Amino acid sequence: MGMTVAEKLFTRKNTEGRPVKTGDFVYAKIDGVMISHRNLVKIDQHVQKSGKLDGLPRIWDRDKVFTFSDHFQPASTADYSWYDKAQRILAKRMNLKHFYDAEAGICHQMMCDHGHVRPGELIIGTDSHTVLYGALNAGSTGVGEADTSYALVFGELWFQVPPTVKVTLRGELPNYRVAKEVILYLAGRHGDDFAQYKAIEYAGEAAQALSIDGRMFLADHVVEVGGKFGFFSCDQKTVDYVASNTSLPYEPIEADADAEYEREIEVDVGQVGFQVAKPHRFQNVGPVSEAAGTKIDQAVIGACSNGRFEDIEMAALMLKGNKVSPDVRFIIPPGSWAVYRQVHDAGLIPTLLDGGA
């Protein structure tokens, strides 16, 4: 019987060097640790409380630790400002090579922008949306501060090899950004926990047709349906994107043709249509027509879900020749400075500003 991507990943990373299967507990070698705002300080504080008064005793590999002030730049409160300062001091004391201080943005987008994610790697992060890196064929997931502390010192961590749900996307992509509609459709149809502690493999011709932006969105939202990992295949789009950000080597990982899945779901992307999530559960989803006439006060295109170029480009297309209602605040924070430059270079900013965003 063949292996899923998750089974292959943990067979490759298993410290015992033996093949594993779904359900096995393994110690796995880590390729990268992402630490988002405040968490480096909190981790060090926890270590001190455990009795090591000097904090973390060591970092196993400074080339594989990436820490960000990201979310709160510039600091909006005195509390955030204190954490920023404390993190600067810690990063200097630990001699961390990849500390992104005042560079505003979303840590996950920045990880990809700066070439810290490569196919076939196993990366953990102090944020649940670390699963986004699966868009680039990496195994990535969010963990707590205690697990992160251990990984920082030893470069490995325990996992249970998850079962896998295969989501096959069929049909031709419509002439709009369909990724968000797909995950909302899946949540509405199958519940917001159908992938609880499972991996999702996205496959099919429509999955291959998605841009890297679209794949990032779908991988990012794996956690919103309970998933532990989300994977896309490594194709030429992946290779080109990774090559634009790093020259470091990597080894992609693909499922076997006869891999065994816990469940298989097929979606015709051309039939999904526009979806809307309603209060107060992610699975409370229906066609956007069900919400027609509902007054809104604010719209935001941003965060790690929608802050990429294609999302902002769509907003500009909608706003061209139109104006935002005077009763609505329309806020568009790009996910990173790299995304902002894309938007700027494409000449979209005047359209967004003229439209009232």
205 and 58 both lie in a single domain: yes
Domain-terminating residue out of 223, 252, 268: 268
Range of the domain at 315: 295-354
Is 323 part of a structural domain of the chain?
A: yes
Q: In what order do the strands lie in the sheet with 98-100?
A: 98-100, 65-68, 32-35, 122-125, 139-142
Packed helices 78-93 and 39-49: angle between N→C axes, nearest 10 degrees: 70
- Upstream peptide bond of 344 is cis (omega within 30 degrees of 0): no
What are 10-35's pLDDT values in tens digits?
Answer: 999 999 999 999 999 999 999 999 99
Is 37 part of a structural domain of the chain?
A: yes
Residue 146 main-chain phi, psi, to 5 deg: -65, -45
Residues sharing a CB contact under 8 Å with residue 24, sequence separation 6 or more, in sequence order: 10, 160, 161
Q: Are strands 275-277 and 285-287 parallel, antiparallel or unpaired?
A: antiparallel
310 and 161 both lie in a single domain: no
350 and 247 both lie in a single domain: no
Q: How many domains does the chain have?
A: 2
For residue 126, give Cα distances in angstroms to 21, 145, 225: 26, 7, 19
Packed helices 212-220 and 236-243: angle between N→C axes, nearest 10 degrees: 90
93 and 235 both lie in a single domain: yes
pLDDT at 76: 86
21 and 78 both lie in a single domain: yes
Dihedral class, residue 280 (left if φ above 0, else alpha if ψ from -120 to 50, else beta) = alpha
59 and 175 both lie in a single domain: yes
Q: Are strands 139-142 and 25-29 parallel, antiparallel or unpaired?
A: unpaired
Contact in structure between 177 and 214 (CB atoms under 8 Å): yes
Is 86 part of a structural domain of the chain?
A: yes
Q: Percent of the chain, pLDDT > 90?
A: 88
pLDDT at 175: 87
Give the per-residue SS3 of 79-102.
HHHHHHHHHHHHHHHCCCCEEECC
> DSSP label at 132?
G
199 and 143 both lie in a single domain: yes
178 and 92 both lie in a single domain: yes
Is 198 part of a structural domain of the chain?
A: yes
97: its two tokens: 């090579």
pLDDT at 218: 96
Q: Select from 341, 262, 26, 287 the least CA-distant residue to 157.
A: 26
320 and 227 both lie in a single domain: no
227: its two tokens: 């998933």
What are 316-333's pLDDT values in tens digits?
Answer: 999 999 999 999 999 999
pTM: 0.95
228: its two tokens: 């532990």
Say how far apart CA 280 and CA 212 lie, in whole Å: 29
pLDDT at 119: 98
255 and 197 both lie in a single domain: yes
Q: How many C-beta atoms lie closer than 10 Å to residue 313's C-beta?
A: 17
Contact in structure between 310 and 211 (CB atoms under 8 Å): yes
Is 341 part of a structural domain of the chain?
A: yes
177 and 309 both lie in a single domain: no
Residue 338's CATH number: 3.30.499.10
Say how far apart CA 189 and CA 204 lie, in whole Å: 19
Q: Select from 254, 345, 317, 307 the least CA-distant residue to 113.
A: 307
Q: Block means of pLDDT (10 residues each) for the chain, length 357 residues?
A: 96 96 98 94 89 85 94 85 92 93 91 97 96 98 95 96 98 91 95 96 97 96 96 98 97 97 97 92 92 94 88 94 96 94 97 96
pLDDT at 72: 77
Is 280 part of a structural domain of the chain?
A: no
